[in-house]
């Protein structure tokens, strides 16, 4: 059996939508729309097999439009169009279609679904932001919108809300948005206490407590960082025994010595020298079999801490030179 031509099927569908004057008088419009949807769908599936993704996406857009005319839910068809356009590299078509789906679901009161779609949209925007401050602010605005949608649904999943909070806090911290840093700390603390309540999730609390200390060292002062480190030791015994806590203690010691090398009896090496690089290498060596612990966030924030320590070290050395 010969394969059908998807272009011909597409044209057949179009003819069903524009049958001419006399045919439109004597034919059932509902039946014509159903036939058009059938032809568009058949064409779309063949285009997909041929990997002609843009044409397949165009078919699904036509189907969605016809479903809207028939007062049917078009979202599945819009989603199919998005998948096809993404595979075809037409990323510019994603945002208006996502907005369309969100708008339809808002009217239907599907707030959690809208929140998830808005978050997905924000993540795609972030991928294309290229460190543009204006685009980063747009991403943050979408995170806030997603959180607002979740608040409108009393049955929203707390784990999904937490995912958005973490994404927002990570973005604020990585880009050093000082006006928002307090909000990032609050989000991480919320997450830490949320997971601390769960026996299976307690391990995650350690990382969120650690993130707060990292932020204090990167953007505030080490004295406050040390105070919060001791506070969280009291909250979570697992944190006080963790490798990352030992690493943070060493970083605080580096600050206490104004970034310069010093002897430390806790380090099991011949000369017992401790500085930022030594502390970092020690920690990375301990986690070498679990690379997931060392993510992009820690790489960026640790670099900021290292730069801060280096500046302190230079200033101390300059002061020492002036004293001579």
Rounded to two decimals, the pTM is 0.83
The answer as to whether 272 is a domain residue is no
**Model confidence pLDDT, tens digit, residues 11-35:** 999 988 875 533 444 455 678 889 9
What is the pLDDT averaged over residues 225-245?
A: 95
Helices (H), the chain: 6-17, 21-26, 29-49, 53-69, 75-87, 94-107, 111-127, 133-151, 158-174, 181-196, 202-219, 222-235, 237-240, 243-256, 276-286, 296-323
The answer as to whether 135 is a domain residue is no
The predicted pLDDT at position 305 comes to 96
DSSP single-letter state for residue 251: H
The answer as to whether 278 is a domain residue is no
Contact 84, 54 (CB under 8 A): yes
The answer as to whether 217 is a domain residue is no
> Is 286 a residue whose pLDDT tops 90?
no
The answer as to whether 78 is a domain residue is yes
Domain that holds residue 46: 1-106
What's the CATH number where 60 sits? 1.25.40.10
Buried b (16+ CB within 10 A) or exposed e, 260-285: eeeebeeeeeeeeebbbebbbebbee
Compute CA distances 226 → 11, 58, 122, 272, whole Å.
71, 58, 35, 22
Q: Which of 10-24, 106-120, 176-190 has the least mean pLDDT?
A: 10-24
> Is 121 a residue whose pLDDT tops 70?
yes
**Model confidence pLDDT, tens digit, residues 261-276:** 888 777 766 677 889 9
The answer as to whether 281 is a domain residue is no
The answer as to whether 61 is a domain residue is yes
The predicted pLDDT at position 293 comes to 80
The answer as to whether 116 is a domain residue is no
Domains held by the chain: number: 1
Number of neighbouring beta carbons within 10 Å of residue 301: 20
> Is 108 a residue whose pLDDT tops 70?
yes
């Amino acid at each position: 059996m010969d394969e059908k031509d998807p272009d011909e099927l597409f044209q057949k569908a179009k003819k069903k939508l524009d049958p001419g004057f006399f045919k439109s008088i004597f034919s059932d419009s509902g039946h014509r729309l159903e036939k058009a949807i059938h032809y568009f769908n058949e064409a779309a599936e063949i285009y997909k097999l041929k990997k002609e993704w843009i044409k397949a996406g165009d078919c699904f857009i036509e189907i969605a439009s016809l479903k809207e005319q028939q007062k049917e839910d078009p979202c599945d068809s819009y989603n199919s169009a998005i998948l096809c356009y993404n595979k075809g590299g037409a990323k510019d078509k994603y945002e208006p279609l996502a907005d369309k789906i969100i708008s339809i679901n808002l009217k239907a009161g599907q707030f959690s679904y809208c929140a998830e779609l808005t978050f997905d949209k924000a993540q795609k925007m972030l991928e294309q932001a290229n460190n543009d401050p204006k685009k980063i602010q747009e991403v943050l605005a979408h995170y806030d919108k997603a959180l607002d949608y979740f608040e409108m649904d009393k049955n929203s999943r707390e784990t999904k809300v937490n995912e958005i909070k973490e994404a927002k806090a990570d973005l604020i911290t990585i880009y050093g948005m000082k006006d928002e840093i307090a909000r990032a700390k609050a989000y991480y603390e919320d997450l830490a206490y949320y997971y601390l309540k769960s026996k299976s999730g307690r391990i995650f609390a350690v990382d969120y407590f650690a993130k707060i200390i990292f932020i204090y060292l990167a953007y505030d002062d080490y004295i406050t960082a040390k105070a919060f480190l001791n506070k969280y030791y009291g909250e979570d015994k697992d944190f006080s025994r963790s490798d990352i806590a030992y690493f943070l203690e060493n970083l605080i010691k580096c600050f206490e010595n104004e970034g310069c090398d010093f002897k430390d009896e806790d380090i099991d090496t011949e000369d017992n020298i401790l500085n930022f690089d030594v502390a970092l290498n020690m920690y990375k060596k301990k986690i070498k079999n679990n690379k997931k612990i060392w993510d992009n966030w820690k790489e960026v924030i640790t670099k900021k801490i290292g730069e801060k320590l280096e500046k302190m070290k230079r200033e101390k050395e300059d002061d020492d030179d002036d004293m001579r």
